[in-house]
Each structure stands twice: as structure tokens, then as C-alpha cells.
Structure 1
């Protein structure tokens, strides 16, 4: 069911946009049995606790992680009652189940001819499934991966912002994120709204979201199911290392420039951080 998943026009659109520009493309994954609600509830019951997340859906665009209200339901019940639980749930790293690993591999294999010539091999392939109640909100945040979000049921509107605008996410937040010291959620200000591009997807449509592009999501009037297929690139790892290196420079009283967008490789800072990390590892032994 996944052969010729992306039409030629979709791959051509992605080729023109990748890796820095969000875009909408078509796909043919509608109706896959592994992505039906009952199958996803079953999967949720088998995944480790750190591979599932669920929250109430009535949240503001910007919210501190500590202020996110807890749900009284478990992950399986949340999914089975998603039409009325007023929640959103995410199943992380679905490739832990061999059936979903095969599905993820087949989807990403069709994107590889577009991706590899631009950013090299696709690294750390991971899949996520989002199940959302009508009208629920996923707050303003960013992610470190290249991401294609395939809409399977219902609709959602993602408002995507430029990835390299320091006004939207302070460089110190980027740096802390890559050091494991900051949650993915970002502080929100209403004046940010004008910089965003609202992109609605229906079943059979997908969105490409660039690395670290801030975004927030509002679900449509029906239950939504979306599959997110993600990968890292050597460029994305270099950006992360450069951010960590900048953190060390700030500790020396310097004010380093933010990493430059692709195709700049941020090589010096990346190699500098990797060398220091290796040295520290050796001293630790």
C-alpha cells in the first residue's frame, strides 16, 4: 500500500523547497490499517512509557511545560475516546514495533532521492503518530529533525515560522535545548503571529517542516490522525553542535553569532564542540 506513495508532482515540490522552506505535498497513505484508531490504541499499550505522551487539548498557543494540565485518562483510553476526551496524544518512535518500522522505512525510502542529494544520508529515522480531539491545540515549539507530516484523518492547521529568526526563539533557548536544558515549547508573544504562515492539510496532504522551524497546530472540527516521518542530517547535527559550542563561548563572556542556515555547514563550531566533547569524555575515563 506504500508503493508510489508520493506523486511525481509532490516530490518535485519538495525538491524545490527542501531543506529550508515549508511546503504542502500530496500523499497516498490514506486507509493504511496500521494507522487506524484501533490499531494505534493497541500500539500505545505496547510502547514504553517514555514513548507516549498525552495532554488536554484546550491549551493556549504559548504555555510553560510546567503549566500543562494533566489528564486523568491513560494513553490507551485517551486514544479510544479521542472524539470526546478533548485531548491530543503522540506515539513516539513507532519503529520500535517491527510492523511500523517497515512502514516508516517504506515512506522515507520514497523521500530519499530528494533528500540525499541536498543534505546527505538520512540519519536517525523516527516516526511519530499524533491523535487529536477536535479543536485541540499543540503549543508553539520547535523540533530538531527534518519532518514530513502526513494527514490521514480530519484536518489541522499548522502555523509555521522562519527557522532562523532570533526574534522568535532567543539563541540561548536553542543552545539550552541542545544541551537538554530546555523543553521544546517556546515562549509566545502575540506579535509573532504576523511572521507565521498558516498551512491547512486534509487527508491525503502532507507538510514538510524544516529543522527548528517554530510552529503551533490547531486541529480541525473532527478527530485528526497524522503520521510524522522524521530524519536528521549531518547538517542538522552540525547546527546542534554549533549551538552547544556557542553556549560555551557565552560562558567565556562572548556573544557568538547564531549558526547560519543551510547550505552553510557551521563546520568550525561543530568540530570545535565535538573535539571538546571527545576530550571531556577521555578525561572522564
Structure 2
């Protein structure tokens, strides 16, 4: 599964299929907080063969051979960088235990049908628990796995998507912050392309909740909820399952329009204060977005990149389109 648009939703999601028991639910009421507040739950992936390190390395090597390294992140270490990919991945994994590095394999569902099936199972279960028609509204969903050394810290940041972090091996603490700590300008810059636009400030740690993850536990991150993650003194394997829907994508385009308006000296209203103006702003950015997006990056950023391109007069067009829509 990659893109789930109006045209191909039916082929990407089996709406009649129920989940196969990946997630264990103790209190179904927890899912009432979906996209609003974090919550934890148990899962059954901690011994799943799809997440054994040799299997993941094989999947990553195959992906690099067929598609290039776009799905695989390996640290920019001088010694690793000089190795061919066939040696670089196993060497990076060998160094995980005693080093201070992390690896990422993105969009697993694109690399093997077993991960695609798993993603569909998880989405089906989440739809059952939440009572929301997720598979009708999802525009993008995916699985990304992280393998990290002991005591590695993932810096403070926030993400566009609805996210669920499944702990498979090792332990870690996830610090999830109240959405109120994020400034509107930070979100605007994030949607203009600065993925680390969120700034950690003194005193903010008091506005976080700490969720300790061990194998078999998971935590839900609401969209745009800032977080930082600290590994315990162990190798960690975590799976991020995420999805975006039409509401999140439209809100993102509203923030992008606000970014453009602020650059033009205007003082735009935040999303949610005036739905009619929000729709105007989103539509203005959508004019420049790719009509047939192939990646999540295309969905989120193709429009704003064209607007900001110095070779286009898009800023002037957007200014006219947004006149009076502050």
C-alpha cells in the first residue's frame, strides 16, 4: 500500500476485512481519545519473525538493490560511508550494540507483501476499536522500523501523521508533550519544509507525559504532538505505524497558506477559527500540488514547493487568491 486516494481506495484497502489480533485492547474507551490524547496499549509483535534483525537486513539489502537507498537510512559515518551497501548494512547492525547510532527502514509495506498485509491488519483493528471509517478517509499509511543503540536519544520534534509506536525489543521512554507548547509559526515552518521546526524550550519538560515502553507495549502519538525518545541501556527495535487522512492534509495546506501570508506581511488566523477561510487557503495551495501524487512527500509538499519556487510567480497568485482570507 502506498497512496490511498479517492480513485484507488478500493484497491488499497479491504474494507470488509477485520484485524487479526495484532493489538490487544483492555479498555476500548481508550480509543475515544484517538488523535486528541496519547494512550498506551499492548500488542503481539514482540516475537514476530518479520522484525528479526536478519530478516530486516535482508529486506533492506533487497530494497537498496532494486530501488536505491531511498527507503534505508544509515548514519553518515565516514567508515560506513566508504563501504558498498551490501557490506554497509550488516556492519552498521554489528556496531549497533556497542555504538551510538540508529538505522531506519521506511515504508516497509512497499518492500514486501507480508508487511503490507500486517499494515492492513493493524488498520482494520484500529477501525474496529475507534468506530471511525479510517480506510475510507486515509490518504497515506505506512510502517517504518527503527533499530537503535543503547542510550540513543531521538531529538524533540513533531510529525504530521497519526502515529503509533510499537516496542519490539529493548525498552525506552517516550516523552509526549501537550500540543499547546507548539507555536503556530513552528507548525507553519514545519509544513514549509523544516521538519525540525519545533524548538525545545526550558520548562517544557514539565508539560510532557512519560510513557515507558517495553516489548509488547505501544503508545499513540496524536498528530503534531511533540515528543522526544530516550533509549534505555539496550538495543531497541521499534515499529512506527502511521497514517494521514484528508482532514490532516487539508489542515497542512492551510498552515502552508498561512506561512505564505505571513511572509507577505499578513497576520493569518490559525486553522480551525474560520472553516470557510481554511477551505479557501487549502484550495489555493492545492492548485499547485501534484494532481497524481506518488508519495506522501508529494501529497504534503509538492504544492508549497511550487509556490515558493523563485522561478514561478506563485507567491503573487497565492496572494491574490488569499486576499481577504486572513
- Under TM normalisation by the shorter chain, which class is it? 0.7 to 0.9
- Describe the shift of the 1:152–1:232 C-alpha distance in structure 2 as closer, same or farther (beyond 3 A): same
TM-score (normalised: structure 2): 0.72
| CA radius of gyration, larger in | 2
Listed as ranges, the matches of 1:55-134 within 5 Å are 55=75, 70=77, 72-73=79-80, 74-97=88-111, 98-115=113-130, 117=132, 121-134=137-150
Conserved 8 A contact 2:255-2:270? yes
Alpha-carbon distance in structure 1 between the residues aligned to 2:27 and 2:94: 33
Structure 2 counterpart of 1:204, from 216, 238, 242:
216
Q: Give the equivalent residue in structure 1 for 2:303.
A: none
Conserved 8 A contact 2:251-2:282? no
Q: Give the equivalent residue in structure 2 for 1:29.
A: 45
Conserved 8 A contact 2:250-2:282? no
Listed as ranges, the matches of 1:1-285 within 5 Å are 3-9=20-26, 11-13=28-30, 15-47=31-63, 48-55=68-75, 70=77, 72-73=79-80, 74-97=88-111, 98-115=113-130, 117=132, 121-163=137-179, 165=180, 168-180=181-193, 182-184=194-196, 186-260=198-272, 266=275, 268-278=277-287
Give the drift of 1:70.
4.3
Q: Give the equivalent residue in structure 2 for 1:60.
A: none
Runs of 4+ in 1 over 6 A off after TM superposition: 279-284
In terms of mean alpha carbon deviation, does 71-80 or 24-33 score higher? Answer: 71-80
| RMSD of Structure 2 on Structure 1 (CA) | 2.7
Conserved 8 A contact 1:245-1:269? no
Q: Which structure is higher in RCO with an 8 Å CA cutoff and minimum separation 6? A: 1
In terms of mean alpha carbon deviation, does 38-47 or 220-229 score higher? Answer: 38-47
TM-score (normalised: structure 1): 0.82
Which string of whole-angstrom CA distances, capped at 9 and with x for unpartnered residues, describes residues 151-200 of structure 1? 1111111101122x2xx4432232122122x1336332232111111111
> SS of the counterpart of 1:184?
coil
Count of aligned residue pairs for this structure pair: 262
Conserved 8 A contact 1:238-1:265? no
> SS of the counterpart of 1:232?
strand
Higher share of residues assigned helix: 2
Alpha-carbon distance in structure 2 between the residues aligned to 1:267 and 1:79: 51
Gaps of 5+ in 1: 56-68
Which string of whole-angstrom CA distances, capped at 9 and with x for unpartnered residues, describes residues 2-37 of structure 1? 822222325442x12211101111111221111011
- Describe the shift of the 1:10–1:131 C-alpha distance in structure 2 as closer, same or farther (beyond 3 A): farther
Conserved 8 A contact 1:151-1:225? yes
